[in-house]
Structure 1
Amino acid sequence: MLIKQIAFGYEFESTHLYEDDSARLLLSEHARETNASLKWGPYRPNLYMGIRPRGLPQSFLSGLMWYNVDSYSAIQKTRHSCEQSDEMSGYGWETYDTRDGGRQVMHDTTHKVDITTEFVKDGASWGLRVKGKPTQPDVNTAVVFYFGTEGLSESHLATKFSDLGYLQDTAYGGFINDLGKFDLTVTRGPASNQGPPDGNSVATAQLGDRIHARSLTVDPATLWKAKEYYMKITQDRIEQIQRMITSRDQLPIPSQLFNLNDDGGQGNLHFVQRNFMGEFQFDILFNGQSETPLTSAKVTHLLESAMSSFDNRYSEVFAPSAPYNTAEHIAFGKALISNVMGGIGYFHGSSLVDRSEGAYDDEEEENFWLNRGPPEITETEPLNLFSGVPSRPFFPRGFYWDEGFHLIPTLKWDPDLGLEILKSWFKLTDDEGWIAREQILGHEARSKVPQEFQTQIPTFANPPTLIIALEAFVEQVESSSTESKHGMPVGDDMPQQFINFPEFSPRTAYLRSPALARAAVKSMYPTLKLHYNWFRRTQSADIKAWHDPNVARPMSWTEGYRWRGRTPNHCLTSGLDDYPRALPPHPAEMHVDLLAWMGSMTRSMIKIGSFVGAPVSEIKRYKDILTGIQGNLEDLHWSEEAGLYCDLGWNAAQETRTHECHEGYVSLIPFMVGLVPSDRVGSIVKKIRDPDGLWSNHGIRSLSLRDSVFGTDENYWRGSVWIHMNYMILTALENYYDDPDIDSDVRSLMSDTYQKLRVNIVDTVFKEWQETGFAFEQYEQATGKGKGVKHFLGWTSLTTMIMNMPERLN
């Protein structure tokens, strides 16, 4: 039997997974419910608000813009895409669930207004409520909503045209391939809405509080440039008016000058503009093919339901432990998890890959970083990705190793959603097993990336956090105790009411039916093996060729690894860009962090392979590899002199490998992933607690204060505190605490370290959030001030998980 089910726009294909029709029906029901609940969303996270469907790249996209109209210059700072330079005192989702919707607030300092967007879904329909509350009296605000239709589609204005704008709700209708017929309405909103005063009108000026609409026909591939089109037609209008007047004094006031010229509404890109004085509210209602149309009243009801559901689920899933069970911390935690969910996007487009001979260089020659040769950049076929993003303004795209950390809270909140994201990522695997570490898909994504960083190289890796996240999913399924009650029945007599069982939601279906989860993971398993083998092949180190015969042989001649893509100043592929490494780079070097990641990845393959019933010989192979990794970690990378796990560099004068020791995250990663033997844990925890080394009042430093390059040059991974790495240290302390081979004094130190570190991390992130309205990429080790990218709600959102951890170890 072959089951082929389209889910989320991606093919799910397996052979002989089920032998009865009942199971097939359950799988089909899950796919249908999943697709319906995740079809629409703010899946353009690079925008303050941009809605599109998932899995349908050539269909529909939309966006929201706003600016102040009390001056002629404010339009130059029109809000549309999230930008680091925008003067905001915080923005983001306060409450958001990917399946239901929620509320987002943007505190715009420049335009003196707080903009709230509330998004909800109702089957094939959705509603967006836009509200504005000025922060000063008598503020006038222009708000522009646009949408575009792509592919085989047709859209048009259905409201009667007026020379003075539209006095009633403004409606559009049309048809979009794969979505069917639709109508979209921009409502006038409540009677309390007020337009700006008429001011110094001229013959062509528009009256206040009218809806203005303009439609264009543009190249569908450029619909994402809607702001540029809007600015162009606004400029054209200004020039038209200027030709009609004799002096600047006759110019209409800004709220009239910048209005759209209304037209008949034909095209594939449609703008709707509202100008308001003071507070305002209106709705955008998209009605797809459904029996009952979505109305403003129903939007209100759905919002109330979504907020209540979110609060209940947060209390169930992320209830914080003391001292973080206060109202302020709970609101903070809700915002963090909401921004993880609200940062999920759907991306489509080609990627740029260097296919030159140099891109496949195995880096076995000295000075390899200087001898790559000219690139041969090719454009791939269009790819799809459903993924979170590290930062909406700065990194609005998929990052391989970031996503593994994003999935930690995602899997806890919505396990089925987490698996769909993992499926999407692993579908990017090429025939060799490679997944590009940055997914810069299409022209819109590339517009946010400097040209020198756009091209991906097919021998470059990243820490393999995605497979580790999949292992976490498997552990969730295995630890679920509901299989006996809600598990998948077998046989042909499964009652119809089970298929519609009210608790069989697409959010937790895999936990309630481990057989279904096993089938889904089994379908992914061949790709996982291909990817795992690619890692071992392309990132391997030649242990034997550079081994000093005067030194004892290691446990394994095969289990040594080094990051490809090294330069003297950077090892971008490691994720720890400027962390100090051996100089100069050399083909003999070996990287302890990569060996540890490979150990963790191999342990994940053991767990996943066992879960899906892989052959015993295959599991044995993984176990043998893991044994070799653990042995070489001790034989090759432990420095007794430094008391650290260290990289190996090449000493040209002595023609031998030597330890390159830099106390910090690289030396701690073996501990973080749980590969350190019990008798080393005490010495490592003591180094973590050393205030002259790694310990700070704001978290564990990325590099020791004593290191000669601490805080130098870029100072990116040379001392700052990073939340995801501190989260890993906390979980390692938690896991090792239960090790019976660790003596009581060490356990006492671990407990104290855990409790103090948890408080230091949460207090640092929370304080900056309160003072600035933002979470940051990293935090200054001495002051706790945010550093690097702001509005970094990727792995910094692990603070939610930390608040949920036990207050102390006992």
Structure 2
Amino acid sequence: MFKATACLTIDLLGIWVPEEFVTQRNSNANPPTFFLTLQFILRNFANSLMDGDDRLGTLERLYPRLQAWFDWFNTTQIGEESGTYRWRGRDGTTNRELNPKTLTSGLDDYPRASHPNIDERHVDLRCWIAMAASALSEIAQLLNRNGNRYNNTFLYLSDNDFLDNLHWSPKSESYSDFGLHTDGVVLKRPPAPKTHGHHPQHKPDMIRVVTKAPELKFVDTTFGYVSLFPFLLQLLNPYSPKLGKILKDLQRPEFLWTEYGLRSLGKSSPLYMKRNTEHDPPYWRGPIWINMNYMAVRALDFYSHQDGPYRAEAGKLYAKLRHNVITNIHREYRRTGYVWEQYNDKTGEGQGSRPFTGWSALVVLLMAELY
């Protein structure tokens, strides 16, 4: 192992990995996506588990580990205000990044509050914790354990009025993060210092310049995947007008809708397709990601089967979005021979890593309608 001057680390396999991806810290979490798998098992195979299936023994052995994992999440990621959560690991001192990355969220350069501090509250993390609590409560019931504290946590965090109070922006009428924020940030190159009367050969890197002071507020000029999380993790009441607003916004081309799937960041957002540094092209700032589109189709399927005023609309959107995603991935596979990490929101072309049979392979579940 050795450290390179360009802030890169090479691992034992000889693969170059950005240094910020290498160091692991006990205070920093990642999305507890394993609970989605558990939720799928509970919804589809709970009856067979209760019929003496040996897999119930596996769940018995897994349960205390899930408890420890959840309890760690629910203590290390809490926010300053009751019922709030924030991703740790953001760099509040950087002057290189247009918007400090939130690597721990799994959404990397997706725009958050411009000036990370302890007052931040992240709507996606709150929803992850609520969903995990719900799954643990169901597992406890299946195992005949006392899961009241998990059920109470779920009810507390999924209360729509409470959620709206902390994360619904009246201005944008969307779910938003909250924090110390300004949209007045740009990347500029500082003047190059002269050396003995001569200009240096190398230009200095561009740095972030703040043109308008930040203030504590909703990060509501940004609309994208994070704005959808109460919907994606199915926490919204099927009768909630907020659900109707989200379904309407999903279809707006200036926001997320494309013929190829939902883009990660709305075209109307200030940082849409903006580089985070001059060396870091946009990653979660426009391109289409299949894991999030799978979750959106999954949520549409869920709400299309719930009684309420938006049932029919959810069903129509379900058919359209599912068709768009499957058609584009298949077309690109036929054209290139690859399943890709992400897809261009303007052309649908595959881009990033390939072959990428990680979460992009969720298209197989979309085709089989397994949610």
Return the match for 2:297 from 717, 727, 730. Answer: 730
Could you tell me which residue of structure 2 aligns to residue 529 of structure 1? 67
Could you tell me which residue of structure 1 aligns to residue 168 of structure 2? 638
Could you tell me which residue of structure 2 aligns to residue 681 of structure 1? 243
Return the match for 2:141 from 592, 610, 613. Answer: 610
Gaps of 5+ in 2: 2-9, 92-98, 183-211, 276-280
TM-score normalised over the length of structure 1: 0.37
- C-alpha RMSD of the superposition: 2.4
1:591 to partner: Cα distance: 0.4
Distance verdict in 2 for CA 1:689–1:651, change over 3 Å: closer
Distance verdict in 2 for CA 1:479–1:724, change over 3 Å: farther
Q: Tell me the amino acid that sits aligned with residue 315 of structure 2.
A: S
Distance verdict in 2 for CA 1:656–1:707, change over 3 Å: closer
Structure 1 Cα separation of the partners of residues 114 and 170 of structure 2: 22
Structure 2 Cα separation of the partners of residues 472 and 750 of structure 1: 20
CA contact (8 A) 2:339 2:355 kept: yes
CA contact (8 A) 1:644 1:667 kept: yes
Structure 2 Cα separation of the partners of residues 525 and 533 of structure 1: 12
Which structure 2 residues correspond to residues 370-769 of structure 1 after superposition, within 5 A? 443-444=12-13, 447-450=14-17, 452=19, 453-480=21-48, 488=52, 513=53, 516-543=54-81, 557=82, 559-567=83-91, 568-615=99-146, 619-631=147-159, 632-650=162-180, 657-661=216-220, 662-678=222-238, 679=240, 680-713=242-275, 714-740=281-307, 742-743=308-309, 746-769=310-333
CA contact (8 A) 2:115 2:214 kept: no
Q: Counterpart of 1:789 in 2: which secondary structure?
A: coil
Return the match for 2:340 from 767, 772, 776. Answer: 776
Which structure 2 residues correspond to residues 63-462 of structure 1 after superposition, within 5 A? 443-444=12-13, 447-450=14-17, 452=19, 453-462=21-30
Q: Tell me the amino acid that sits aligned with residue 165 of structure 2.
A: D
CA contact (8 A) 1:723 1:795 kept: yes
Distance verdict in 2 for CA 1:755–1:467, change over 3 Å: closer
Gaps of 5+ in 1: 1-350, 352-439, 489-512, 544-556
Structure 1 Cα separation of the partners of residues 43 and 316 of structure 2: 28
CA contact (8 A) 1:467 1:528 kept: no
Residues 643-672 of structure 1 deviation map (CA, whole Å, 9 limit, x = unaligned): 111001136999974111221100001100
Distance verdict in 2 for CA 1:599–1:775, change over 3 Å: same
1:693 to partner: Cα distance: 1.3
Residues 231-265 of structure 1 deviation map (CA, whole Å, 9 limit, x = unaligned): xxxxxxxxxxxxxxxxxxxxxxxxxxxxxxxxxxx
Task: Name the count of aligned residue pairs.
Answer: 315
CA contact (8 A) 1:471 1:608 kept: no
1:472 to partner: Cα distance: 2.3
Structure 2 Cα separation of the partners of residues 738 and 762 of structure 1: 22
Residues 509-534 of structure 1 deviation map (CA, whole Å, 9 limit, x = unaligned): xxxx2xx2222111121111111010
Identity %: 34
Bigger Rg, which one = 1
Q: Counterpart of 2:179 in 1: which secondary structure?
A: strand
CA contact (8 A) 1:477 1:517 kept: no
Q: Which aligned runs of 4 or more in structure 1 are off by greater than 3 angstroms? A: 651-657
Structure 2 Cα separation of the partners of residues 456 and 473 of structure 1: 30
1:449 to partner: Cα distance: 4.4
Residues 66-88 of structure 1 deviation map (CA, whole Å, 9 limit, x = unaligned): xxxxxxxxxxxxxxxxxxxxxxx
Q: Tell me the amino acid that sits aligned with residue 614 of structure 1.
A: R
1:747 to partner: Cα distance: 2.8
Structure 1 Cα separation of the partners of residues 113 and 215 of structure 2: 13
CA contact (8 A) 1:768 1:775 kept: yes
Structure 1 Cα separation of the partners of residues 350 and 213 of structure 2: 44
Q: Tell me the amino acid that sits aligned with residue 796 of structure 1.
A: S
Q: Tell me the amino acid that sits aligned with residue 155 of structure 2.
A: T
1:473 to partner: Cα distance: 2.5
Q: Tell me the amino acid that sits aligned with residue 780 of structure 1.
A: N
CA contact (8 A) 1:561 1:591 kept: yes
CA contact (8 A) 1:586 1:649 kept: yes
Residues 711-762 of structure 1 deviation map (CA, whole Å, 9 limit, x = unaligned): 110210011111111111111111111221x22xx33322221111111101
Distance verdict in 2 for CA 1:651–1:665, change over 3 Å: closer
Q: Tell me the amino acid that sits aligned with residue 593 of structure 1.
A: D
